[in-house]
Amino acid sequence: MIHRFGAFELDDQLFELRKGADVVAIQPKAFDILRCLVQSGGVVVSRPDLMAKVWPGVVVTNDSLAQAIMAARTALGDDGEEPTFIHTVRGRGYRFVAPVESLPRAKTKESIRPKTDRPPSTFVGRAQSLATLRKLLERARNARGGLCLVTGESGVGKTRLVEELCAEATGVLTISVRCYDGEGAPELWPFAQALRILRAAGATPPLDGELAALADGCAVATTLADPQARFRLFDGIVRMLTVRTDPRPLLFAIDDLHLADLDSLRLIALLSPQLRATSVLLVAAYGPTTPRLASFRAAMGALAQEASTSTLRLEPLTRDDVATFVKQGNRSKPGSGRELPDALLEKVFDKTRGNPLLLTQLVSVLNAEESLEKADVETSALVGGEGIRDAITSMLAALPESANRVLTVAAVFGVTFPLAPLAAALDETNDVVLRELDAADVVRVVARAGAARYRFTYPLVRDVLYKRLLPSERARLHGRVAAALGEHLGDGAEHARVAEIADHLVEAAAAGDVEGAVDCSLRAATLAKAAGDDAAAAKYAQRGLEAFRFAQRPDEARRALLGAFVSQRPRRE
């Protein structure tokens, strides 16, 4: 069957999602999720049912499902807050809300239309990177092919960059595949997909023997175990890629290379140096996520040394790029034509640090709330939205639970946090916490901010981690953070450091320790007053007054002391 909805077609025989005549890139599990929802007849499909259908016989977490849903929405350009296609039914599951027309394939031949001119691209901030890839592709047209490794942090736009190159390439045979390390994935999966595509396009002689078996996803284990037989198989694949019946240059794109199996990496190592005198450009993208193989980083280092290899590292968008991105809109809501007020632009850039994935989700939230023209958007609005939570869940999914626990407590400290007090709040040694932060550093969730301090790379990640804490848990952790900071305070502390502890105690006051919050606020205000900083003294005292919201028997004398500092606040000119 072919299922039509909106501008899309889902082909459940070719396993393709198409928009017009173009095939839309979509992850295998995201395709399976989308197919289940499209075929559900508009009824709600529960999370357990989806997981059972898409991951039969495999135990997976809700995070895996959330990532697949997010990938399906990304492929459709859908908005989780105002969905056109996939609607979240809270506490239940998901429902496909767009009308679907399902027809037998025999009746849908007219759906394959010739390509039309592509609309103007809304791709922002990647002109130089795209120009580099175009130049490499032009070299391949002139029989000077090679390998380009595309890397960068999670959500920085590696996949989108490669998609853009594939979409605009003309007169080129294009193969675009993804690595996959899920249950049952065969060895050499990216090359099995490539052979399948070449065979369907008639670009190779008829496949037979082990090449045909590989194209059908049936690589022979005994062949891969025997070094000589494995080399013969590899050599046959290399010849199919480099000596084809189709005269066009070949653009071969592999995404998520960090999920590749050992034999795929071995084959790329064999293929790469042979591309220099061919019309083949191999573009392989990978991220900082923990790789499938411990030897992956060493393999990338070795590939980078090859004369035919180029390395392209994507950086987050600049502030000007962010402004342009918001004005143009994202893929689901293009062309808003509105400029952000400077104050809001600073907030958006500060929260996302120019990460396109986080930026896309944040703009969707602001669009949904019609806040793009408001300069005074509250911070809480900047962390709302299921899409943002899903995007950050995807970033954190590569880390073990122990690292996520460390990051959750670090989020209570703030955007920056000290190592030793964090370890104390966790009741762990510095060494244990340092190892978890190293893992988070590898995937670019945190970065060093000094000899003994760290910071969240994206403040939005910190905000979401903090906001998802239950109020009781949040109050408890603020109390632990205050105690840990107090142990490192020392004598003669400046009022700002005392005030930092007071802030945590005020947040912890909901759990009952109102007196501790009030006393620490009074101490900070007194120190600030003695230092001649009346404005800071008034601010600290006002913060202390907030703790009285949780007092069962308010101490009016202490409230009056705090009120006296507030009343002495300097007047603004």
Q: What is the pLDDT of residues 237-288, one digit of tens each?
A: 898 888 877 788 889 999 889 988 898 999 999 999 999 889 999 999 988 7
Residue 551 DSSP one-character state: -
Q: Specify the pLDDT at position 160.
A: 85
Range name among 109-123, 276-290, 339-353, 456-470 with the lowest pLDDT average: 109-123
Q: Which helix (H) or strand (E) holds 528?
A: helix 514-530
Q: What length is written for the chain?
A: 573
Same domain, 373 and 449: no
Number of structural domains in the chain: 4
pLDDT tens digit sequence for 181-234: 766 677 888 888 888 888 877 777 777 788 888 887 776 677 888 888 889 889
Same domain, 359 and 491: no
374 pLDDT above the threshold of 70: no
- As a dihedral over the C-alpha atoms of residue 266, residue 270, residue 276, residue 281, rounded to 10 degrees, the angle is -40
User: Per the confidence metrics, is the pTM higher than 0.85?
Assistant: no
Same domain, 146 and 295: yes
Same domain, 280 and 367: no
Q: For residues 401 and 344, which has the higher predicted lDDT (pLDDT)?
A: 401
Q: What is the mean pLDDT of the chain?
A: 82
175 half-sphere exposure, CB direction, 13 A CA radius: 26
Same domain, 302 and 379: no
Radius of gyration of the chain (CA): 28
Using DSSP's 3-state secondary structure scheme, residue 486 falls into: helix
Same domain, 182 and 301: yes
Q: Specify the pLDDT at position 282.
A: 93
Cβ proximity of 273 and 203 under 8 Å: no
CA distance 12 to 413: 49
Q: Taken in order 482, 484, 487, 488, is the CA torsion positive or negative?
A: negative
Q: Which helix (H) or strand (E) holds 241?
A: helix 227-242
Q: Specify the pLDDT at position 113.
A: 36
- 291: pLDDT confidence band, cut at 50, 70 and 90? confident
DSSP 28-84: HHHHHHHHHHHTTTT--EEHHHHHHHHSTT----HHHHHHHHHHHHHHHT--SSS-S
Say if 403 falls within a structural domain: yes
**Crossing angle of the two packed helices 459-467 and 342-352, in degrees rounded to 10:** 80
Same domain, 199 and 290: yes
296 half-sphere exposure, CB direction, 13 A CA radius: 17
CA distance 283 to 130: 12
Q: Specify the pLDDT at position 339.
A: 65
Same domain, 336 and 296: no
Using DSSP's 3-state secondary structure scheme, residue 136 falls into: helix
Q: For residues 394 and 50, which has the higher predicted lDDT (pLDDT)?
A: 50
Q: What are the DSSP E strand ranges found in 358-490?
A: 416-418, 446-448, 453-456
Say if 491 falls within a structural domain: yes
Q: Taken in order 109, 114, 117, 118, is the CA torsion positive or negative?
A: positive
Same domain, 378 and 503: no
Say if 119 falls within a structural domain: no
Domain that holds residue 354: 319-384
Say if 265 falls within a structural domain: yes
Burial class (CB in 10 A: 0-12, 13-18, 19+), 92: exposed
Say if 533 falls within a structural domain: yes
Same domain, 538 and 553: yes
Strand pairing class (22-24; 16-19): antiparallel
- 552: pLDDT confidence band, cut at 50, 70 and 90? confident
Say if 573 falls within a structural domain: no
CATH of the domain at 26: 1.10.10.10
Q: Specify the pLDDT at position 76.
A: 87
Alpha-helical regions (H) of 337-400: 342-352, 356-368, 386-396
Q: Which helix (H) or strand (E) holds 234?
A: helix 227-242
70 pLDDT above the threshold of 50: yes
Of 20, 10, 198, the closest CA to residue 114 belongs to: 20
- 59: pLDDT confidence band, cut at 50, 70 and 90? low
Q: Specify the pLDDT at position 58.
A: 61
Cβ proximity of 346 and 377 under 8 Å: no
Q: What are the DSSP E strand ranges found in 410-488?
A: 416-418, 446-448, 453-456
Strand pairing class (146-151; 309-313): parallel
Q: Specify the pLDDT at position 332.
A: 43
Burial class (CB in 10 A: 0-12, 13-18, 19+), 186: middle
CA distance 532 to 534: 6
Same domain, 324 and 375: yes
Of 63, 65, 35, 29, the closest CA to residue 47 belongs to: 65
Say if 122 falls within a structural domain: no
Q: Specify the pLDDT at position 193.
A: 86
Same domain, 429 and 367: no
371 pLDDT above the threshold of 60: no
CATH of the domain at 298: 3.40.50.300
pLDDT tens digit sequence for 109-125: 433 333 434 444 457 78
Say if 572 falls within a structural domain: no
Of 90, 78, 102, the closest CA to residue 30 belongs to: 78
**Crossing angle of the two packed helices 62-76 and 28-38, in degrees rounded to 10:** 80
